[in-house]
Amino acid sequence: MAESARTHGTEREDFAASFLALGPVAPTILPGWDAAALLEHLHLRERAPHLMLAHRLPDRWAGRARSALERYRRTPWEERVAAFHAGPGPLSPIGRIDALSGQAELLIHHEDLRRAQDGWEPRRISAARAEDAWRAVGLMAPLAMSMQADVTLVSPLGGRRLRARRSAGSLRVHGEPLELLLWVSGRDEVARVQVHGEPAALRALQDGRRGL
C-alpha cells in the first residue's frame, strides 16, 4: 500500500476507506486475524461489548449471543464497514475514551491492516493526527512497557522519559509519533524507529514487555 500524499478525513474515515479498498480477507499483522476479524473486534468493542463474553454466558444467553454474531458476520461487507464508519455514538463510553486517548485504538489497528499489505509505506499524517498519536504515546507507554531500563521516547514533537524502578541503563528511541506508538504497543516488525542504548539496557529491552 503506497504512502498517501495527505489524509482525506478523520482517522475513522480513512480506516473505513482502507477496509473497503482491501476487502474482508485482506491480511493483518495480527496472527490469525484477517480484515473481517479486525473489523469484528472493533464492532464488538464499540457497539456490542457483551458479545465478546458470549463463551462465558449461561447456555441460554450464549446461544443468543452466538446468533447475534452470526447475523453480524452474514451482513454484507459494505454494511459492516458503514456501521464502523458511523462510529460508536455520542454517548458511548468507548467514544469518549478514544477521544481522550488520542484515538490510539484506531491508529494502531489501522496500521495493523495497512502494514500487512505488499508495498506498504508509512503514511504522511496531518499535524493534528500526529498530536493525537503523541498524546496516545504518553498515555500508553507507562501502561504498556515494563522493563528494567530508563526509556526516553524522542519525536519531532518532543520527548517523554520513563524511569524504571530498577534500571540497567538508558535507552533512547527515536521516531515519528505514530511509529513510536506502534513500538510502544510491541509491533517491532513494522515500527520504523531507531533504538540506541547501553548494552545492559538493550538486554533489558529484550527481556522486558511492551503491549497491552
Does domain 127-210 sit in CATH 3.30.1050? Answer: yes
Largest distance between two CA atoms of the chain: 57
Measured CA angle at 111 (ends 210, 154), to 5 deg: 55
Grid cell at residue 211: 503491549
Q: What is the pLDDT of residues 81-109, one digit of tens each?
A: 999 999 987 777 888 888 888 899 999 99
Looking at residue 27, its pLDDT comes to 98
Average pLDDT value for residue range 168-196: 97
- Type of residue found at 99: A
| High-pLDDT (> 90) share of the chain, % | 75
**H helices of the chain, where?**
11-22, 35-47, 59-74, 77-86, 93-101, 104-114, 127-144, 177-184, 199-207
Name, in order, each residue with C-beta under 8 angstroms of 189's C-beta and a sequence gap of 6 or more. Answer: 29
How is the chain split into domains, by residue range? Answer: 11-114, 127-210
* pLDDT > 80? residue 174: yes
Nearest to 41 by CA among 97, 108, 93, 91: 108
Stronger pLDDT, 118 or 65, i.e. the higher one: 118
